[in-house]
Structure 1
Amino acid sequence: MYEKILVAIDTSTIGDRVFDTALKLAKIGNSNLMLVHILSEEAEESPISFWPMNIGYDPEMMKEYHQLWEKFEKECLQMLQSKASAAKDVGFQTEFTQVRGNPGREICKLAQEWSANLIVMGRRGHSVFSELVLGSVSNYVIHRAHCSVHVVQD
């Protein structure tokens, strides 16, 4: 069925559901998996999402922000390593990568480079208005990916 499944996951609860769905789909076709996490300031779980924007430039605050970002990066990488290990434990050939950038573009780019047959990703179900204003990663990927996309609804 699908030889190579790219799995776009994050640290949210939908990320766990996306991973579980990808494992179920991989069992059907004995697929290889590529687990992907995109580091983005736009992500709800990123340190910038709760950082006060009304402060001026303060070297100590910037140092603190960079420390928070490094901690966030490490936690996300550990999440990827844990999920990759779990997939390998049940018999799937699994790789993982973490890159920084625009989530939609990076997912499509990685899927193309890895020659994925399927992308499995989540959708948080934001309102139509917020998707129009802010955009939607899943919408971007659905319309620009070179392969099929399976969206797990939140």
Structure 2
Amino acid sequence: MSRRFGPFFFPEGRGLAGGLAGLAGVVYFSVGFLQIASLAGVLPPITGQGDLLTGLLLIIVAAVFLKGIRPLSEGTEEGYAHLVVGYMLATILFGLQVLVIGTNALGWLLQFPGWVEWSLAQDLTPQIWLFAILVVVSIILRLAESPKEVSE
């Protein structure tokens, strides 16, 4: 079965919701930590131009997801709130990065001096691909449930 919260559907039972929260939390935390470590010069830079704020924001999103594991494992509604807020934060970060890509693409298209050498690869930061992975995993979990089990 799944739970619906507004436009969000989350798997219910068999620990899938807790697993989703745990997986998302660990991945977001790992990438945020790697982002900060690469800025400190400890590791080579990962894809896209990152900054300290990006790394910290990814860790905050991870904390929200990870905080929801216990309530989800106990079967309380509070855990789903953590999933919804985690998705919302991830969506906001994704949307802001899409806005940055759009403005940079416009500058490149209009051939502004600072944007002549811009490429899309420069702006494919972790917010973009982490959100895409999160959505794909959520869709796979949603489709893995049989239609008879889905309740609205």
TM-score (norm 2): 0.32
By relative contact order (CA 8 Å, sep 6+), the higher-ranking structure is: 1
| Higher strand proportion | 1
Flag the structure with larger Rg. Answer: 2
